[in-house]
């Protein structure tokens, strides 16, 4: 890839709508191995990045809008009138995952034949790919609607964390006990100093008392 300024210009061409598209497609739960189409659309590209994500670009691919619109009706017909809301939501998520997996498999197949673009990692269920290649070629993919968004490589890390079920705040509070311990230590030191000072004062008072008595 070229310098950061050029990379940023590439990302700006995606527009605001494209930036939100990846977030929108990552709001459903990961349903790996629960979909009948999981094996059929299994990717050759692994989920772990082959490069530093900051050095790549996150490409987001999504099913056709009409397919997503039609999915709700298909799910209702498949589930039947007696299906509960929870059953409908679960089935919808499973079918939605299959659509993303299918779209991801199509994109991977096309990119494996592209000499300019390399696939460094992918999460099929999210339609997220970490890619590397010339800026001009990535822009061509966007203009040809072969990808729905081009985002910073760091976005792939977020998707991967969600896929692996990792919490973003896993280490946020680990330092708190040490901090509290430090405060206790300082407080203890102050208390000891106060106690010592009081003892010295008491000793002086006792000494003065003895002197007065002798007089």
pLDDT tens digit sequence for 24-61: 443 333 333 344 444 567 899 999 998 999 999 999 99
Q: Are strands 57-60 and 149-152 parallel, antiparallel or unpaired?
A: antiparallel
Reading the chain (215 residues) residue by residue, the pLDDT tens digits are 444 444 544 454 444 334 334 444 433 333 333 444 445 678 999 999 989 999 999 999 999 999 998 998 999 899 888 889 999 999 999 999 999 999 999 999 999 999 999 999 999 999 999 999 999 999 999 999 999 999 999 999 999 999 888 444 444 444 444 444 444 444 444 454 444 544 555 555 554 554 444 44
Q: Which residue has the tokens 């998520």?
A: 93
pLDDT of residue 40: 63
Is-contact 129 45, C-beta < 8 A?
Answer: yes
- The pTM of this model reads 0.62
pLDDT of residue 41: 73
Three state DSSP letters for 71-92 = HHHHHHHHHCCCCCHHHHHHHH
CA distance 99 to 170: 32
pLDDT at position 54: 94
Q: Cα separation of 81 and 162, whole Å? A: 33
């Amino acid at each position: 890839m070229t310098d950061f300024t050029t990379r940023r210009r590439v990302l700006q061409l995606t527009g605001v709508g494209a930036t939100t598209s990846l977030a929108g497609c990552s709001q459903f739960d990961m349903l790996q191995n629960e979909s009948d189409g999981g094996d059929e659309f299994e990717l050759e590209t692994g989920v772990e990045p082959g490069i530093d994500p900051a050095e790549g670009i996150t490409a987001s691919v999504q099913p056709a809008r009409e397919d997503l619109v039609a999915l709700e009706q298909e799910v209702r017909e498949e589930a039947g009138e007696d299906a509960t809301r929870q059953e409908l939501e679960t089935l919808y998520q499973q079918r939605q995952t299959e659509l993303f997996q299918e779209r991801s498999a199509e994109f991977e197949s096309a990119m494996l034949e592209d000499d300019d673009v390399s696939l460094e990692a992918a999460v099929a269920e999210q339609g997220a790919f970490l890619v590397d290649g010339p800026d001009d070629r990535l822009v061509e993919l966007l203009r040809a609607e072969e990808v729905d968004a081009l985002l910073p490589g760091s976005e792939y890390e977020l998707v991967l964390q969600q896929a692996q079920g990792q919490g973003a705040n896993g280490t946020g509070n680990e330092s708190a006990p040490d901090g509290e311990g430090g405060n206790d230590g300082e407080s203890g030191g102050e208390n000891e100093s106060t106690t010592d000072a009081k003892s010295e004062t008491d000793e002086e008072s006792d000494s003065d008392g003895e002197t007065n008595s002798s007089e």
